[in-house]
A and B are shown apart, each in its own frame.
Chain A
């Protein structure tokens, strides 16, 4: 048995190789996390910050603006979970019914594409699609004798713009895990069902859908872990002054009061609040997932 010191000395190359990665994690991840103690301080340009305890949190929780932002975050996340979550599952069921390899490849290649576009590009595409005078959606509305709408500045519609543009971007790509799960179902199950005279619908109902449930639960729980995010990049690029009251979420709020208005400490308090809820949700989902499906999130 070699002594500890000797083992460490012999492995110096390993520590050297680990150094860049470890330095990265410490400097760019751990330091800004520890830096969030700023939430309990007053920020000073010169000299040390002043410890103020819960001051910023008290201001935060008594601020009507923060309440609105919190409500928007929860509303938008709930709408997305409700209306977007089932779509990739349905899509995977439909795609798995396609027998022609060419057509299946075509559907997959096309529906995956938006996942690889940045939200800046998608915002550009959607602003054009929803253009009140020349956009495709209003073209269809006019065809059905409906008046044109300016969706991007409409308080009543902007949250639905978030739901549908997110669906457009992610539903295709998110079906991939379900397709993988369907591909793993043994063909003999279907053959046996066909011999028993099960219709395609019955096969889907009694074989495919039950086999998908573990994946559905895992993905649902994972989504729950990101509930407080509500899609920052999307909101950031689709936001404008007319609809800010409807779609200002926690992260855009932090961005605005922190990086635009320079209230660093106050914004960090809002970040920390969001982070703590996030960690509770992620750990909660992890243990819930372990309990239900036997597998954790990581």
Chain B
């Protein structure tokens, strides 16, 4: 009896160790490529050649790459553009989504079913990027931040998440305000919204991450490089390998230029584009995980 139990226990602990080992290697496969970029960006430009492709510690230590990148007027401007588009875009998105969700979730009016049906129907069909482009051109919205703020201003999936949340607010909490004579907008603004902080936080992160990472619409709608968000500049630099545009407008001597390593400069631009996400990552993890798991519950 004893011996048999001991063996099963042993098999169990061995297989568990194997599982731990596999999972540990999976996390390495995710982390090493990212940390290698960080190491590349922080290495001494003169010693960067010594860094192996799997290295996660910088060779030497230098902030020279960041100094160069952050003194590049184009990257600085694009960083400002990204921050602006992300903040304004998220606020506008949240407001539009919330006010629409309130009307659809908490009230009854003539035509409500029709509106819901319409939203579900158009959700199934994605418009062509061509007709979207032509529409924005006809509205004179090309080369404006508005085009990026309004594109997908209401994500139908997020709208439904918020509607479900609003529906769960107990009627009793709203009834009192109604007796006091509060109208719908008042109820929405001073009762429903404050009660929905967790859901609004989730949506803020959803929309925020979306806007920060958005590059394609900006690529096709914005042709003026001064208005590009960071992701478009990064794409120009890393994917299109357009180094000349990146170093334009900077006073660098030939010797200074020769001392630069393009891979390291690209790496530091990538790091800058990822830092805001990393800073918010604990919050992102918490709210995205919750939102997705609850979304999964519905299925």
Contacts and interface: CB of A to CB of B under 8 A. Distances in A.
B1 to A, nearest CB: 12
Nearest to B293: A180
B100 A237 contact: no
Interface string B31-71: 11110110010000000010111100000000000000000
B161 interface: no
Nearest to B184: A13
A292 interface: no
A35 interface: yes
B125 A33 contact: yes
B23 A98 contact: yes
A57 B253 CA distance: 56
A134 B263 contact: yes
B37 A20 contact: no
Nearest to A184: B297
Interface stretch (A21-29, A65-73, A153-161): A21-29
Interface size class of chain B, counting residues whose CB lies under 8 Å from the partner chain: 35 or more
B179 interface: no
Contact of A118 (B104, B125, B126, B213): B213
A231 interface: no
Contacts of A129: 33, 36, 53
A82 B20 CA distance: 26
Interface in A82-126: 91, 94-95, 97-99, 103, 106-114, 116-121, 123-126
Interface in B231-249: 231, 234-235, 238-239
A94 B23 contact: yes
A116 B209 contact: yes
Contacts of B30: 110-111, 113-114, 168, 172
Contact of A18 (B22, B115, B284): B115
B292 A176 contact: yes
Interface string A196-207: 000111000000
A43 to B, nearest CB: 9
B107 interface: yes
A18 B63 CA distance: 51
Contacts of A272: 128
Contacts of A237: 235, 239
A32 B23 contact: no
Interface stretch (B146-154, B165-173, B195-203): B146-154
Given A13-B183, A107-B27, A199-B8, A124 B130 contact: no
B273 interface: yes
Contact of B22 (A28, A94, A108, A271): A94
B215 interface: yes
A275 to B, nearest CB: 6
Interface string A279-297: 1001100000000000100
Nearest to A15: B109
Given A36-B127, A113-B281, A120 B120 contact: no
A106 B30 CA distance: 12
* A-side interface mostly: helix
B119 interface: yes
Contacts of A200: 12, 15
A205 to B, nearest CB: 13
A172 B34 CA distance: 15
Contacts of B235: 120, 123, 237
Nearest to A171: B26
Interface in A8-46: 8, 11, 13-15, 17-18, 20-22, 24-25, 27-33, 35-36, 38
Given A107-B26, A199-B8, A254 B53 contact: no
A106 B27 contact: yes
B134 A279 contact: no
A211 interface: no
Nearest to A278: B126
A78 interface: no
Contact of A28 (B32, B124, B135, B220): B135
A246 B219 CA distance: 24
B23 A28 contact: no
B296 A136 contact: no
The 7 closest A-B pairs by CB, nearest first: A21-B100, A271-B128, A136-B53, A32-B127, A118-B213, A35-B131, A124-B238
30 contacts: A11-B107, A11-B109, A17-B99, A28-B135, A32-B132, A33-B122, A94-B22, A111-B26, A111-B27, A113-B34, A117-B274, A117-B277, A119-B215, A120-B238, A121-B213, A121-B274, A124-B266, A124-B270, A128-B267, A138-B53, A139-B52, A176-B292, A199-B8, A199-B11, A236-B216, A255-B129, A264-B130, A275-B128, A283-B124, A298-B123
